[in-house]
Structure 1
Amino acid sequence: MIATSTVKFARELDPNDVQHLKSDMTRSRVRLEIQIETKVKIVNGEDEESKSRDQK
């Protein structure tokens, strides 16, 4: 039901609006991926501060 209504909604939008919506969703996804990668690095102790301390 959700997929059907989403497709129907996308068909009703202007093509320019659809492009903006896609770019907004891509931007949000990239931001989320960066946050997840950063959290994983911190949890694993791979942040930049610990690397620079280890090198000294």
Structure 2
Amino acid sequence: MEQRIVCQKCKHYFVTWEPSRPHGCRAYGFKSKQIPSAVVKKSSGADCSFFEIKSGS
């Protein structure tokens, strides 16, 4: 069964202060209007390979 990637639960995800590009991914090194996992899937056809659950600190 395929697991859905939720960027907000990933340690590489961050929120930017830019209204035009509010979502960011440190692993891939970009900011976008869309959630990073959707951008990766759309551009490469593959699921994100850097997804890691955030530690509960």
The TM-score, its normalising length taken from structure 1, stands at 0.23
- Structure with greater strand share of residues: 2
- Structure with greater helix share of residues: 1
Q: Say which structure, 1 or 2, has more relative contact order (CA 8 Å, 6+ apart).
A: 2
The TM-score, its normalising length taken from structure 2, stands at 0.23
